[in-house]
Structure 1
Amino acid sequence: MASPFYTSEHEAFREVMRRFVAKEIEPYAHQWDEAGEFPRELYVKASEIGLLGLGFPEEYGGIAADQFMKIVASQELARAGAGGVSSSLMSHTIGSPPIARAARPEVKARALPEVLAGKKISALAITEPSGGSDVANLRTRARREGDHYIVSGEKTFITSGMRADYLTVAVRTGGEGPSGVSLLLIEGDTPGLSRTKLKKMGWWASDTATLHFDECRVPVENLIGEEGQGFKIIMQNFNSERMGMAASCTAYARVCLDEAIAYAKERKTFGKPIAQHQVIRHKIVDMAQKVAASQAMLEMLAWRLGQGESPVAEICMMKNQATQTMAHCASEAVQIFGGAGFMRGVKVERIYREVKVNAIGGGTEEIMKDLASRQMGL
């Protein structure tokens, strides 16, 4: 569908992304999903086409990018129907913005160029076994001892957690509540840090982990922002993460729609393609309607962000709109595929398994509704 928001520069990058995904990801998506990981070399290849640097400062190897360039990147990656690859390949988009925004200059200079070049992996570590969305009550402790913080606690469900070289970790440096939360950059080879790989319903190619911090010594200069200001930085990070997830989920829904249309034209029952049965045509129209509505809402929100607005309530609703659209389209696509949709190796089956992680990660649908309602003054 034509959109007034994309320039020739956006479309040129879309073509670069489409060729990259078709050559470097799509042929291996099923293989990597079954293996539970993808080659680290993919990070370097992604850096070479400018993907990893989008939106980061140019002085560290980044590339200036507006909201629509980020949408192009997210939605072209989704064409492979391999959320596990996309989530870990792009984990720096939630792990590194706090570094770029608030870390000391020497820390930025050390970490960001390596991450944006694809040589090191960056991850964000906030969720704990005791809870995820309730950031203000996290329990991982960091006590000051001279020129180090001593970190003890656990984080879980951490994307890129097994391989990350740089971990942006939310810790409690002060008292209870949000004012006691800080952010630390913890390097992956820090003594006392151990990792446990997690098996998941979906995103199999993503190395998701529980992290254990046992009296880890972290230099004070690795503090991101001021002590006690971590909660604010985390909240700023969430808006960007949720827009990225919304763009991806809308695109996964479109993949399901496209795959369902292609299958319905080919598969025959009772002497004719199933696309000629009214019940199938109606399913496809419902899918197309939801995808179009989600894409329109996404692009309008991206435009508003570009105008300097901060529409928090609408971003929360956008994430829910996109995850619910993805859920509907994935379910209907599998239904249209019938038995073939239940078999591993097809895009719609992978996407169906990845619905729930999107409805939970980055803020659950329930949390999104509650936050939106409060932003609306209710």
Structure 2
Amino acid sequence: MAENSPNPVPFSEPPYLRGLPSPYHTEKHRAFQKRCRAFAWENLIRHALEWEREGTVPEHVFQTFCKHNMLLPNLPAPLPVDWLKRLGIRDILGVKVEEWDHMYTGIYCDEMARSGLSGPGGSMNAGFAFGIPPIIKFGSKQLQERFLPDLLTGKKRSCIAITEPEAGSDVANITTTATKSPDGKHYIVNGTKKWITNGIWSDYTTMAVRTGGPGAAGLSVLVVPLKGNPGVNMRRLKVAGQITGGTTYIELDDVKVPVENLVGREGEGMRIIMTNFNHERLVITVGVVRQARVALSAAFSYCLKREAFGKKLMDQPVVRHRLAKAGAELETLHAWVEQILYQLCHLSKEEADRQLGGLTAMAKAKAGMVLNECAQCAVLLFGGNGFTQTGQGELAEAILRDVPGIRIPGGSEDVLLDLSVRQLVKIYQAQEKKLSQSSKI
């Protein structure tokens, strides 16, 4: 079987790639998928496990992806068409930038995760997926002119820095401060940021800081220079999974940042961060579904070949039962994610944030649970091989180590489950109020 062909092993591919009808994917989507798979395989997927073992994806990979505009799909759809065309960027592997929609985003994120590992793809995408979007959506024209040309073309790298040692999902309690200098020309930034993906390689970060009093109302967002900037100290953190993601600890000691680097206005930080989270959670979820596919299909393939107690593992009812339970969870999640992607194609950004923000948080939380189920299933069925960081079960073992890196970042699982229901209650209350008012007319 060619490496770029659909994998025939059950659970290994989404339904539309198994030849089943799809109401969501057009011929243009399918054509892009083929080109995207070929590009990702050649430049990332076939080396991913090797690079994960080594702990770092070579720098030239980032440059190759940028040269072919293949990190731009990490931006929220629709893409910033005017900016891209100003920079001479008119298509992404043959898809016109003005035609890019969320279904293309879903295809791209799925293909980028086809190694089963989130680290190698994550080593490149944090800036485009999380760091640049706030500048595009909320940045002043002057701020955009200063930063977007280099960031969108990959001449400079960026990341997003929200999490702190004492403030992860509890964003409102961020303690990193940004105080204006006596002459009013700079913010002086002090504090620490932790678990910052790609931070170690980034020239800039879109950073959440406290410019005002306590709570959410005191938060703002700044573009903070990192590499080589006085007062900035960075070191990589050793983490259990996503080894190649460049997880970084950042210390900021009287770091001078021009006041012009403010994104939006002072006090708007919480709104900017929350809006950005919807996209972050969506792209994480799509990649996680593919990781779960890789884990479960690897176990399925192994069970078709491995013999124990005088028969193939697949001939054992208990094995089939375990595969079926995990597979049902996986396919259910995939159908839900496709539905969300399609809905995003047909809603305004404001309406999508309102209607789908809570559901996207719920889907991201569910994705972590499903990946855990599929990865544990794979490791258990691989047996001793699944407990070994080499050999047949190496990939399943690595995917299981990735699971906490899905269930915690982007809003930890329990926080997102609570958030999702609170959002649904808000929507219900608004609709109930509207119905009540209309009935009085």
CA–CA distance in structure 2, aligned partners of residues 338 and 118 of structure 1: 43
CA–CA distance in structure 2, aligned partners of residues 20 and 118 of structure 1: 18
Amino acid at match of 2:215: G
CA–CA distance in structure 2, aligned partners of residues 279 and 113 of structure 1: 56
Amino acid at match of 1:313: G
1:150 and 2:188 aligned: yes
Tell me how far 1:118 sits from its aligned partner. 2.8
Root mean square deviation, CA, Å: 1.6
CA–CA distance in structure 2, aligned partners of residues 88 and 304 of structure 1: 29
CA–CA distance in structure 1, aligned partners of residues 162 and 205 of structure 2: 10
1:76 and 2:111 aligned: yes
Q: Render the CA deviation track for 1:32-68: whole Å, top value 9, x for unaligned.
A: 2122211121112222443211244134336343221
Question: Which position in structure 2 is the counterpart of 1:212?
Answer: 251
Q: Render the CA deviation track for 1:157-176: whole Å, top value 9, x for unaligned.
A: 00001111110000011111
Tell me how far 1:110 sits from its aligned partner. 3.3
1:60 counterpart (83, 88, 95): 83
Amino acid at match of 1:20: F
TM-score by length of structure 1 reads 0.95
CA–CA distance in structure 2, aligned partners of residues 30 and 329 of structure 1: 19
Amino acid at match of 2:80: P
Say which one has the larger Rg: 2
Amino acid at match of 2:327: A
1:125 counterpart (161, 166, 169): 161
1:240 and 2:263 aligned: no
CA–CA distance in structure 1, aligned partners of residues 57 and 25 of structure 2: 31
Amino acid at match of 2:411: G
CA–CA distance in structure 2, aligned partners of residues 237 and 279 of structure 1: 43
Question: Which position in structure 1 is the counterpart of 2:202?
Answer: 164
Q: Render the CA deviation track for 1:94-135: whole Å, top value 9, x for unaligned.
A: 111001111222332332232332332210000011111111
1:41 and 2:63 aligned: no
CA–CA distance in structure 1, aligned partners of residues 249 and 82 of structure 2: 33
Question: Which position in structure 2 is the counterpart of 1:249?
Answer: 288
Q: Is the 8 A contact 1:47 1:118 kept in 2?
A: yes
CA–CA distance in structure 2, aligned partners of residues 302 and 80 of structure 1: 22
Q: How many residues align?
A: 378
The SS at the match of 1:32 is helix
Structure 1 pair 158–311 and aligned structure 2 pair: CA distance change class (3 A): same
5+ unaligned residues in a row in structure 1: which ranges?
none
Identity %: 35
Structure 1 pair 265–48 and aligned structure 2 pair: CA distance change class (3 A): farther
The SS at the match of 1:376 is helix
1:195 and 2:214 aligned: no
Amino acid at match of 1:367: V
Question: Which position in structure 1 is the counterpart of 2:334?
Answer: 295
Question: Which position in structure 2 is the counterpart of 1:184?
Answer: 222
TM-score by length of structure 2 reads 0.82
Alignment of 1:97-108 (within 5 A): 97-108=133-144
5+ unaligned residues in a row in structure 2: which ranges?
1-14, 17-21, 90-96, 427-441
CA–CA distance in structure 2, aligned partners of residues 285 and 119 of structure 1: 47
1:87 and 2:122 aligned: yes
Q: Which runs of 4+ in 1 moved over 4 A?
A: none
1:323 and 2:368 aligned: yes
CA–CA distance in structure 2, aligned partners of residues 42 and 119 of structure 1: 13
Tell me how far 1:69 sits from its aligned partner. 1.2
